[in-house]
């Protein structure tokens, strides 16, 4: 079984569903100073965190994820049993007793899949996080992903991973807007892959003061565009476009980007083409989209590969 290091948050999610459209709400009740009052049709507490969502997807596909993260005291009563039941390797999850809460994410989703997200980092900022040097099977690992966290944490981890010669995927997430030019350029210098959504791709170029061509010259760049599919850019090659996989049921978009990343990494480990990796990512994202919880969908490697053949039929 291949092992993948997953650096990223472990969070307890509160998912709230709004039976309407945020756009319609804004039209009917113009916001003043972001003063909004939503009547929710549902609320659900689940297991999340970008790092752990990616690890979950990899585990379901027969990959051995090695999550490096920090949790608070509430991990023992609210999260640990879930991971043990899954068979997740939790040796590198540190519980910092100085923090009551693990990272916490509260997400409000409307009927169109738009979201409002509030995030509290909790124990994720702890200095007790382990380094790649402490991974016993580090010699067997080929790929590591830096899922979204604060820039100083990601830089420290990237330097550790770089010393071991690992291929590193830089996945900055929504917090990218707070990264300085120097922080972004440092993380780019320590990674070989970049995965962002279309909005983050714009921020990455603006805040780094680098052109798309300059970034693509040294990185394989994956840009997800939701229902508009995925574009992959690589040096001296025309862009590759992959359509989004068809979705019969949309329940909640939370964690879809993380599922995409797990599917893409699975494709990398199976030595699929760049196009094939993006197809697998799209298919896993859709599987997640049809569930209320980002760590609830079920799938096997064989099923995902069969879906790829049926959906895209290009022999990737």
Instruction: List, for residues 63-96, the tens digit of each pLDDT value.
Output: 999 999 999 999 998 899 999 999 999 999 999 9
Judged against a pLDDT cut of 70, whether residue 1 lies above it is answered with no
Digit-coded pLDDT (tens) for 113-140:
788 888 888 999 999 999 999 999 999 8
Provide φ and ψ at 136, rounded to 5°.
-60, -40
Q: What is the pLDDT of residue 44?
A: 84
Domain ranges of the chain: 3-11+48-104+123-311
Whether the per-residue pLDDT at 291 is higher than 80: the answer is: yes
What's the pTM? 0.91
Per-residue pLDDT at 314 = 59
Per-residue confidence (pLDDT) for residue 35, from 0 to 100: 81
Among the listed residues 217, 233, 214, 236, the one whose alpha carbon sits nearest the alpha carbon of residue 275: 233
**DSSP H or E stretch at residue 307:** helix 301-311
Higher pLDDT, 234 or 38: 234
Nearest to 257 by CA among 284, 239, 231, 237: 284
Indicate whether 187 pLDDT > 90.
Answer: yes
Range 3-11+48-104+123-311: architecture per CATH? 3-Layer(aba) Sandwich (3.40)
């Amino acid at each position: 079984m291949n092992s993948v290091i997953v650096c990223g948050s472990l969070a307890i999610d509160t998912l709230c569903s709004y039976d309407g459209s945020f756009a319609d709400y804004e039209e009917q009740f113009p916001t003043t100073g972001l003063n909004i009052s939503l009547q929710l049709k549902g609320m659900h507490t689940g297991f999340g965190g970008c790092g752990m969502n990616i690890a979950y997807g990899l585990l379901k596909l027969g990959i051995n994820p090695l999550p490096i993260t920090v949790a608070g005291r509430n991990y023992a009563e609210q999260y640990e049993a879930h991971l043990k039941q899954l068979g997740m390797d939790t040796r590198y999850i540190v519980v910092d007793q100085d923090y009551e809460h693990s990272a916490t994410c509260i997400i409000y989703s409307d009927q169109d899949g738009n979201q409002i997200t509030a995030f509290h980092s909790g124990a994720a900022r702890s200095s007790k996080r382990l380094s790649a040097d402490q991974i016993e099977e580090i010699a067997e690992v080929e790929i590591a992903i830096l899922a979204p966290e604060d820039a100083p944490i990601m830089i420290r981890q990237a330097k550790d991973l770089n010393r071991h010669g690992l291929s590193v995927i830089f996945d900055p997430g929504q917090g990218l807007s707070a990264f300085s030019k120097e922080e972004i350029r440092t993380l780019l210098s320590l990674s070989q892959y970049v995965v962002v959504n279309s909005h983050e791709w714009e921020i990455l170029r603006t805040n780094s003061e680098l052109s798309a061509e300059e970034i693509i010259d040294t990185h394989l760049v994956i840009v997800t565009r939701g229902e508009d599919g995925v574009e992959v850019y690589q040096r001296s090659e025309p862009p590759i476009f992959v359509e989004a996989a068809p979705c019969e049921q949309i329940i909640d978009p939370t964690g879809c980007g993380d599922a995409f990343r797990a599917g893409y990494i699975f494709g990398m480990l199976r030595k699929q083409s760049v196009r094939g990796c993006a197809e697998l990512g799209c298919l896993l994202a859709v599987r997640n989209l049809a569930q209320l919880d980002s760590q609830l969908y079920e799938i096997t490697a064989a099923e995902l590969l069969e879906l790829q053949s049926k959906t895209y039929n290009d022999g990737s």
